């Protein structure tokens, strides 16, 4: 048996569970049983529909945590898949299935690593924990944040943490993420009244009025980034309008958009810029704009953990990883 086979076997077990966020679908129970057998103390924390697992081995400092999530995003139309998303299949050296990369393979690798660490615990110092949630792909309010609040109330101090999300770019280990941009989401509701397409002079069209303004925001250069972070980006994620009929001017429009912002920006400043840009809509429509801040930019300080990760990647993969803050935090 190769060193990778236990990881692949566990990954297949997890991928076979249809854990559409926030449903864990039994993934954490699989991991809990394995961690219990390895000597970990395990605790399940449920908040509403969200399941979280906190497992710890040892009480001595420093405490290292391995963090991840069992939930996955929706599959879309299953008939568009080459194989069933929850029937893991290996083709041409790749494992296919919903969550195989994000992030059930990471969970499997961390669990197998935790089991191996436990077997050699007498040679180790400190303690090891795993924090696993089913609330990362969705609203992400009853998952890691809630568990951390609970742990802090108990006086638990986590000295180091590794998140097993897929971070490589072209090959395994070529990047280590040491921070992420913040995430700010806006929802725009533009409300007017319906009309007939034959009489556009009587009824303002919310699509015609809103699209150029959103396009201008999308094409705007918000900043150039800095030494630690890439540039701030603005992306429109969803636009909904119309009745489905081709002869009706829609009475309303809803648009969702997102900023991934660096330390050159603040949420308040971005909100003000968008609200100013969309102000012309108010002359013809009722406008509502709601905001949700899901994370601020953060940057990991260099130290023992980062150096240990770089040395480990170099030893086992043979490359010196690039330090990156690309992507975003949710």
Q: Which residues are catalytic?
A: 71, 136
Q: CA-CA distance, 65 to 88, in Å (whole number)?
A: 28
Short-list 220, 288, 295, 286, CA closest to 255: 288
Taking CA atoms, 4 is separated from 53, 89, 171, in Å, by 24, 16, 16
- Spacing of C-alpha 300 from chain mean position: 18
Q: CA-CA distance, 326 to 232, in Å (whole number)?
A: 10
Under a CB-based contact definition with an 8 Å cutoff, are residues 14 and 70 in contact? yes
> DSSP letter at 3?
T
**β-pairing, 195-196 with 179-180?**
unpaired
Which H or E run includes 128?
A: strand 127-133
Q: Which residues have CB under 8 Å from 96's CB, separation 6+?
A: 82, 83, 88, 89, 90
Under a CB-based contact definition with an 8 Å cutoff, are residues 39 and 124 in contact? no
Taking CA atoms, 232 is separated from 179, 200, 227, 330, in Å, by 14, 37, 13, 15
Short-list 227, 302, 105, 131, CA closest to 310: 302
Backbone Cα Rg of the chain: 23
């Amino acid at each position: 048996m190769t060193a990778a086979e236990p990881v692949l076997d566990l990954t297949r077990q997890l991928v076979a569970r249809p854990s559409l966020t926030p449903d864990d679908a039994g993934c954490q129970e699989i991991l809990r049983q394995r961690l219990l057998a390895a000597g970990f103390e395990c605790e399940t924390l449920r908040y509403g529909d969200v399941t979280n697992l906190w497992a710890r081995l040892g009480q001595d400092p420093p405490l290292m945590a391995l963090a991840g999530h069992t939930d996955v995003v929706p599959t879309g139309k299953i008939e568009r898949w080459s194989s069933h998303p929850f029937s893991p299949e290996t083709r041409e050296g790749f494992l296919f299935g919903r969550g195989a990369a994000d992030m059930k393979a990471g969970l499997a690798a961390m669990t197998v690593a935790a089991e191996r660490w436990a077997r050699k615990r007498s040679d180790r110092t400190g303690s090891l924990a795993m924090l696993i949630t089913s609330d990362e792909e969705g609203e992400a309010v009853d998952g890691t944040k809630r568990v951390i609040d609970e742990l802090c109330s108990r006086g638990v101090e986590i000295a180091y943490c590794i998140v097993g999300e897929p971070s490589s770019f072209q090959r395994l280990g070529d990047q280590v993420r040491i921070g992420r941009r913040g995430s700010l989401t806006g929802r725009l509701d533009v409300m007017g009244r319906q009309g007939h397409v034959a009489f556009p002079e009587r009824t303002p069209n919310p699509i015609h009025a809103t699209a150029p303004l959103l396009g201008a925001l999308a094409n705007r250069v918000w900043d150039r980034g800095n030494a630690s972070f890439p540039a701030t980006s603005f992306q429109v994620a969803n636009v909904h309008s119309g009745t489905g009929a081709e002869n009706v001017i829609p009475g309303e429009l809803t648009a969702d958009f997102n900023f991934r912002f660096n330390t050159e920006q603040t949420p308040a400043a971005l909100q003000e810029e968008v609200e100013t840009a969309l102000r012309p809509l108010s002359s013809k429509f009722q406008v509502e704009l709601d905001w949700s801040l899901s994370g601020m930019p953060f940057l990991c300080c260099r130290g023992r953990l980062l150096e240990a990760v770089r040395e480990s990647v170099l030893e086992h993969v043979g490359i010196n990883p690039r330090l990156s803050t690309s992507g975003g935090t949710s």
